[in-house]
């Protein structure tokens, strides 16, 4: 069966520090991978998606970047965090087709 791992679960970082959130998927190959942020009153905001290794599409220009160094690994990064980067970040995968996505447990990021 397929599983998705996302870590860490919680993270407190100072303003200006770098960020690296990692997500890995097991039990499937060539998944579509997604990074979302849950924003109050706006539902789930798609940040990045990837349909293959090294292929990253950004939906919202901002202080964050994403990379996919391996087929089932998706990394969300920042060189310098802002206070506004605080939030709940979710990684997800899908096999394409009808678009059903499966989510990781999420990371609560607090920038102080």
Partner 1 sequence: DQQVKQNSPSLSVQEGRISILNCDYTNSMFDYFLWYKKYPAEGPTFLISISSIKDKNEDGRFTVFLNKSAKHLSLHIVPSQPGDSAVYFCAASGRNYQLIWGAGTKLIIKP
Q: Which residues bind partner 1 (CB under 8 A)?
A: 6, 32, 34, 41-46, 49, 51, 57, 59, 88, 90, 92, 94, 96-106, 108
Q: For the CB of residue 63, give the shortest distance to partner 1 in the complex, in Å.
A: 21
Choose between 39 and 112: whose C-beta lies nearer to partner 1.
39
Residue closer to partner 1, measured from CB, 67 or 108: 108
Cβ nearer to partner 1, comparing 76 with 106: 106
Q: Is the CA virtual torsion 67, 36, 82, 9 positive or negative? A: negative
CB atoms within 10 A of CB 28: 16
Quick one: tokens of 22? 């990692």
CB of 12 to partner 1, least distance (A): 15
**What is the nearest approach in angstroms of partner 1 to the Cβ of residue 22?**
15
Q: Which residues pair with 102 in a beta bridge?
A: 93
Judged by beta carbon, residue 18 or residue 55, the one nearer partner 1 is 55
Can you point out the beta strands (E) in the chain?
A: 3-7, 10-13, 19-26, 32-39, 43-52, 55-58, 65-70, 73-78, 87-94, 102-103, 107-111
Report in angstroms how near the CB of residue 27 gets to partner 1 at its nearest: 16
């Amino acid at each position: 069966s397929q599983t998705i791992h996302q870590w860490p679960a919680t993270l407190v970082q100072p303003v200006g520090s770098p960020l690296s959130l990692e997500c890995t998927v097991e039990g499937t190959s060539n998944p579509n991978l997604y990074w979302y942020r849950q924003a109050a009153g706006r539902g789930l905001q798609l940040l990045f998606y990837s349909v293959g290794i090294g292929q990253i599409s950004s939906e919202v220009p901002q202080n964050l970047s994403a990379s996919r160094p391996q087929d089932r690994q998706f990394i969300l990064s920042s060189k310098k965090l802002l206070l506004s980067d605080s939030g709940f970040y979710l990684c997800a995968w899908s096999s394409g087709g009808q678009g059903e996505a499966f989510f990781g447990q999420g990371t609560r990021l607090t920038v102080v």
